[in-house]
Amino acid sequence: MRIKFHRNFEKQYQKLPKRFQEKTKQRLCLFMENPFHPLLDNHPLSGKYLDYRSINITGNLRAIFKSLSENECVFVELGTHSELYS
């Protein structure tokens, strides 16, 4: 899986504490190996994020992405559940 990052995702990543940046890197590596690994809880979204999917980074931290093709996606948002879905 090839990953691209939207500018918003990059900005949100830079604002995270170092430990969450490391956790994000770990989960993205796992995503590249197996996008549907059970730890990621990869699932489709609805509402304003229709046609997007979400993976878990930590218990409350989520990353939202959109598939561009079978082997490529773009991560667009990174934040807590309440930041992203309220």
**What does the pLDDT look like over 18-76, one tens digit per residue?**
999 999 999 999 999 999 999 999 999 999 999 999 999 999 999 999 999 999 999 99
Predicted confidence at residue 10, as pLDDT, reads: 98
Domain boundaries, the chain: 2-85
Could you give the 3-state DSSP secondary structure of residue 32? helix
pLDDT at 86: 78
Given the candidates 3.30.200.20, 3.30.2310.20, 2.60.40.420, 3.30.70.1560, the CATH classification of the domain at 2-85 is 3.30.2310.20
φ, ψ of residue 69 to 5 degrees: the values are -160, -175
What pLDDT does 23 receive? 98
Query: Does residue 85 or residue 9 have the better pLDDT?
Result: 9
Closest CA to 57 of 85, 20, 82: 20
Q: Write the burial class of residue 50 (CB in 10 Å: 0-12 exposed, 13-18 middle, 19+ buried).
A: exposed
